[in-house]
Structures are given as structure tokens and as C-alpha cells.
């Protein structure tokens, strides 16, 4: 930016784009830098205005989803592309990034590097750095390891886990990765834990509704979020320290690691419950995992 170049931050989900946008605005509040976001949280008219300003060089930093890679997005002078959660992007998006690589610097970030990227880093084809030190403001926080339990589904255990968290003032993620039946699960949980303030979040919701629900959860207006894997990347809510994952046997280890990473982000003890069906119904891979 000092060299009058533009910076793009590419992220996999709208929720992560919104959270990054808020953080960037906060950190650069005292600098003469214009920051914009480009995701489905903005209307088509707002998106077009951002794209036009990018072309004219009026935007210094833009944070967005795959919309940043569309042909219609033109840059006045892009100098740096940052790709967050690189493993979440497919071949088509990476080919588009390759087409941009000749003229710009690219920084990729991930907690779970894909084998190809890791191999390139280890062989010296790409520079590779490990961030092993937490942010300065969190150095004084004694973070505890997440306690993880693999259990068969049990109503009483789920009620106990949710109640323990909300009675200490915390919040809970209940992950049910099927949009078709998620409202039914919400009703079941409302009956099982009437003390909880429930909300539902998934990727097929209208953008404004999703934004409002996540904002309410962030500000603790709800304390039990029934959701899909839309929360998998980037959501940083330190007050949420229990996650219950239905049919954990259907997820890969990397994905479970990411989901568990949504909790344990403060000094409170965090709990992850991986719910599975009866062992006889588990696949061989799930048992070995």
C-alpha cells in the first residue's frame, strides 16, 4: 500500500469475509486506507460499485470470496493477493490465481496445508513459514486443550453438555450438516433444552438473515447455534466453548480439526462432542479414524 499497490484478501466463506472486514477496519482505523468487502452480504448494486472503484484505484484493500476471481473484477494496480484457508479452494480458482501470479506477490495461509503445497514448501519451490506464537494480546491467556469425547447420540448427555455451557454464561455450536432437516433438529433441541436461546444458521439462508443471526450470536443474544459446516473456517467467538457434531463419522479428520478449532479460543475449558451411530453402523474408515 505504501507503494500505491492494491491488496486483495481471498477467503472461502462470506462469514469469514465479514469477520476479516471488521478486523481490518478496526486495525487500520487511523490510517488513510479505504477497505471494502466483496461477498454476497452486499447487494448487486453495492458489489458493482466496489468493482468499479477497484478498477479506478479508489480501494486499497478488498476482502472477498471467490467473487474476487471473476473476470469482471479489474484492478488498477494489484500488488499482493492473500489467500486464507488455501485448502478450501478448488482447481478452477487456483488456475485463476496462477494466471495472476506473474505480476503480483501471493501469500497463502492455512492451518491444514494440502499435500501439494506442503511438498512444494519442503522441496524449496515455495517459501514456507510457521506461525507458532499466539498474538501478543493473547500471550497472557492460559488456553486449555479442548476436551474431546466420541459418544453415541444420547439426549440426556446432550442436554447436560448444553446446560453446563450456558449456565456458565457460554455459548454452544450444535452442528447438523443437513439443511433439509435442520429446522426439525432445532425444534427437538428447543424441547430438550427449553432454557436455551436458539438460532439456526446455514449457507442457503438469505444473506441478510445469515448476517443478522451471526451478529446476534456474536453479541450473545442467542446461546445455542444450530448450524451446518458454514462455521468451519474463521469464525472467532471466544465465548462459544462447546461444540456438538452430529454424525462425526461422515467428516474427515482435517474437517473435524477445523470444526473443533471454533472453540477453545479463550481461557475457558472447551468441550467437543463427536456424535456417532452404533459401532456396527460405522464404516471401516470411520472406525480406523
- Assigned C-alpha cell, 64: 472477498
The predicted pLDDT at position 226 comes to 97
Give me the residue label for grid cell 453402523: 281
Terminal Cα-to-Cα distance of the chain (whole angstroms):
46
- Assigned C-alpha cell, 80: 499482493
The predicted pLDDT at position 2 comes to 61
Q: CA-CA distance, 103 to 108, in Å (whole number)?
A: 16
- pLDDT averages per 10-residue partition of the chain, 289 residues: 82 86 91 90 89 93 91 89 84 78 81 70 76 59 81 94 95 96 96 96 86 87 94 81 94 86 86 85 58
The predicted pLDDT at position 135 comes to 60
Measured torsion, CA atoms of residues 211, 217, 219, 221, in degrees rounded to the nearest 10 = 110
Distance of CA 163 to the CA centre of its chain: 25
Beta strand segments in 153-255, E: 171-175, 198-201, 224-227, 240-245
β-partners of residue 129 are: none
Q: CA-CA distance, 289 to 187, in Å (whole number)?
A: 32
The predicted pLDDT at position 156 comes to 95
β-partners of residue 244 are: 174, 273
- Assigned C-alpha cell, 10: 481471498
Amino acid at each position: 500500500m505504501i507503494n500505491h499497490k492494491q491488496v486483495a484478501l481471498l477467503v472461502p466463506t462470506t462469514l469469514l469475509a465479514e469477520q476479516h472486514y471488521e478486523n481490518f477496519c478496526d486495525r487500520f482505523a487511523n490510517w488513510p486506507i479505504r477497505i471494502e468487502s466483496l461477498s454476497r452480504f452486499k447487494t448487486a448494486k453495492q458489489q458493482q460499485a466496489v468493482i468499479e472503484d477497484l478498477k479506478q484505484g479508489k480501494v486499497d484493500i478488498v476482502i472477498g470470496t471467490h467473487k474476487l476471481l471473476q473476470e469482471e473484477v479489474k484492478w488498477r494496480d494489484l500488488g499482493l493477493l492473500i489467500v486464507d484457508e488455501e485448502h478450501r479452494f478448488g482447481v478452477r480458482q487456483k488456475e485463476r490465481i496462477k494466471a495472476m501470479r506473474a505480476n503480483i506477490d501471493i501469500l497463502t495461509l492455512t492451518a491444514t496445508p494440502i499435500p501439494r503445497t506442503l511438498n512444494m514448501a519442503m522441496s524449496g519451490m515455495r517459501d514456507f513459514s510457521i506461525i507458532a506464537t499466539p498474538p501478543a494480546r493473547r500471550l497472557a491467556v492460559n488456553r486449555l486443550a479442548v476436551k474431546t469425547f466420541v459418544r453415541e447420540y444420547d439426549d440426556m448427555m446432550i442436554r447436560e453438555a448444553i446446560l453446563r455451557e450456558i449456565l456458565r454464561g457460554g455459548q454452544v455450536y450444535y452442528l447438523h450438516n443437513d439443511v433439509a432437516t435442520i429446522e426439525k433438529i432445532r425444534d427437538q433441541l428447543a424441547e430438550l433444552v427449553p432454557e436455551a436461546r436458539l438460532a439456526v444458521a446455514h449457507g442457503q439462508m438469505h444473506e441478510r438473515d445469515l448476517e443478522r443471526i451471526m451478529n446476534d450470536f456474536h453479541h450473545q443474544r442467542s446461546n445455542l447455534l444450530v448450524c451446518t459446516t458454514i462455521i468451519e473456517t474463521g469464525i472467532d467467538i471466544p465465548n462459544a466453548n462447546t461444540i456438538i457434531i452430529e454424525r462425526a463419522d461422515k467428516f474427515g479428520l482435517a474437517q473435524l480439526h477445523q470444526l473443533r478449532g471454533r472453540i477453545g479460543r479463550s481461557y475457558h475449558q472447551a468441550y467437543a462432542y463427536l456424535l456417532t451411530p452404533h459401532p456396527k453402523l460405522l464404516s471401516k474408515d470411520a472406525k480406523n479414524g
